[in-house]
A and B are shown apart, each in its own frame.
Chain A
Amino acid sequence: MPDIFVEEHKHKKGEPKINVHTHLEHSSGTYSEEKTKLSAEHHIEGPEAKVHVFSSFCRNPSDIFFKNQQPNEKVLLFLRKHMITNLRWISLSILLILAPIFVVPLLVFFDVGLITLPIRFTVIFLGFYYLVVSAYIYVHFITWYFNISFVTDIRVVDIDFSNLIYKNIAATKLSLVQDVSFDQIGVIPTFFDYGDVLVQTAGTMENFDFESSPQPENVVHIIHDLIGKHGTV
């Protein structure tokens, strides 16, 4: 007579299904082999998806890899900040692009001395101005583009890249993750469905904060299921 009753996990509609195959029946293999098999067969149900330039949420991405990724390690979830978080610098860029169209006639109207420069100076300055605006757009874009978080079948990886001079790569094993939660505060995050996902790790290890992550509820659910299968929750 069994002394512990374990309820069968029922898959809720709308939730991503995570399959974990335990190889308890193959007790002849070594621990590491079992662990490898276990990790290799974690996957979020659904087809593999391609990550494109503007992707911010992708399950089972097939065409992106990171440094030190193990051969049998599979990326289950790929995250960037929600695209809407770029709205501020995109708006400013549009204003900067359009500014000369409005500013130059004003300078002419008020007879400001800048316009009295030889035409070759004006052309070079205008070219340089648009080059600086292009660089501004590019730097903001790559800052967003390279701020990536991965959830693999073995660990959680967070790549931070900001202001061109700061980069930080942090990773922790799923077995060390203790809790996952998310904050979604404000009208805009609620409307566009994004929020901050906090991954808490054991002991003194640093916590992970996936800022402005799209579909935070799904992200929490996916990580929660994964850490549950690793036996920490």
Chain B
Amino acid sequence: MEQFNFLIGPAFTLFLIKIFFLAVSALFIIFLIVVVRQVYSMNTIVHDIHDEFIIKSAAIILFIISLSLFLTALVIL
């Protein structure tokens, strides 16, 4: 019976929260992939010599941070 105590205890609640968070985080990563693709696509349509690098970098940085957060949550939660 003891192995089922996990299902009703606070540990199970935290486990559910973790799964929910990871799912939301994964969806957010997919959204950011779309953002990065669109930014690259728009930069081929409008080519700005000076600011192109900043705009692309910001998109990539957001994507990297979200990926890091997902992996961190996977490990420490």
**Which residues from chain A sit less than 8 Å from chain B, CB to CB?**
50-53, 63-67, 117-118, 120-121, 124-125, 127-128, 131-132, 134-135, 138-139, 142, 145-146, 148, 159, 161, 164-165, 167, 169
Q: Which residues of A contact B58 (CB under 8 A)?
A: 138
Check if B46 sits within 8 Å of A128, measured CB to CB: no
Shortest beta-carbon distance, B66 to chain A, in Å? Answer: 6
Tell me the minimal C-beta distance from A223 to chain B in angstroms.
20
Q: Give the CA-CA distance A169 to B41 in the complex, in Å.
A: 13
Residues of chain B from 48 to 77 with CB closer than 8 A to chain A in the complex:
48-51, 54-55, 58-59, 62, 65-66, 69, 72-73, 76-77
Q: Is the CB of A67 within 8 A of B45?
A: yes
Are B32 and A135 in touch, CB under 8 angstroms?
A: yes
- How far, in whole Å, are A145 and B43 apart by their CA atoms in the complex? 11
Residue of B whose beta carbon sits closest to that of A61 = B48
Is A135 within 8 A of B49, CB to CB?
A: no
Of the candidates A52, A118, A132, A142, which one forms a contact with B42 in the assembled complex, judged by CB atoms under 8 Å apart? A142
On chain A, the residues within 8 Å of B76 by CB distance are 120, 124
A128 vs B32: C-alpha distance when bound (angstroms): 13
Over the window 20-35 of chain B, the binary record of Cβ atoms lying under 8 Å from chain A Cβ atoms (1 yes, 0 no) is 0100110010011011
Count of A-B contacts judged by CB separation below 8 Å: 92
Instruction: Determine the chain A residues whose CB is within 8 A of the CB of B38 once the complex forms.
Output: 142, 161, 164-165, 167
Instruction: List 17 additional contacts besides A117-B17, A142-B39, A167-B45; criterion CB under 8 Å.
Output: A50-B50, A51-B48, A51-B51, A52-B50, A53-B50, A53-B54, A63-B48, A66-B45, A67-B44, A118-B14, A124-B72, A125-B21, A131-B28, A132-B28, A138-B58, A142-B55, A142-B59
Residue of chain A at shortest CB distance from B72: A124
Residue among A65, A128, A134 facing the most chain B CB atoms (10 A cut-off): A128
Task: Tell me the B residues contacting A by CB distance below 8 Å.
Answer: 14, 17, 21, 24-25, 28, 31-32, 34-35, 38-39, 41-42, 44-51, 54-55, 58-59, 62, 65-66, 69, 72-73, 76-77
A79 to B63, CA, bound (A): 29
Once A52-B51, A65-B47, A164-B38 are accepted as A-B contacts, the answer to whether A135 and B62 lie under 8 Å apart by CB is yes
Q: A120-B76, A125-B21, A128-B69 are in contact. Are A139 and B35 (CB under 8 A)?
A: yes
Distance in angstroms between the alpha carbons of A159 and B42 in the assembled complex: 10
| B14 contacts A135, C-beta separation under 8 Å | no
On whether A138 and B59 interact (CB within 8 A), knowing A52-B50, A127-B69, the answer reads yes
A66-B42 contact in complex given A125-B21, A134-B62, C-beta closer than 8 Å: no
Complex interface: chain B residues within 8 A of A167 (CB): 38, 41-42, 45
* Cα of A59 to Cα of B68 in the assembled complex, Å: 43
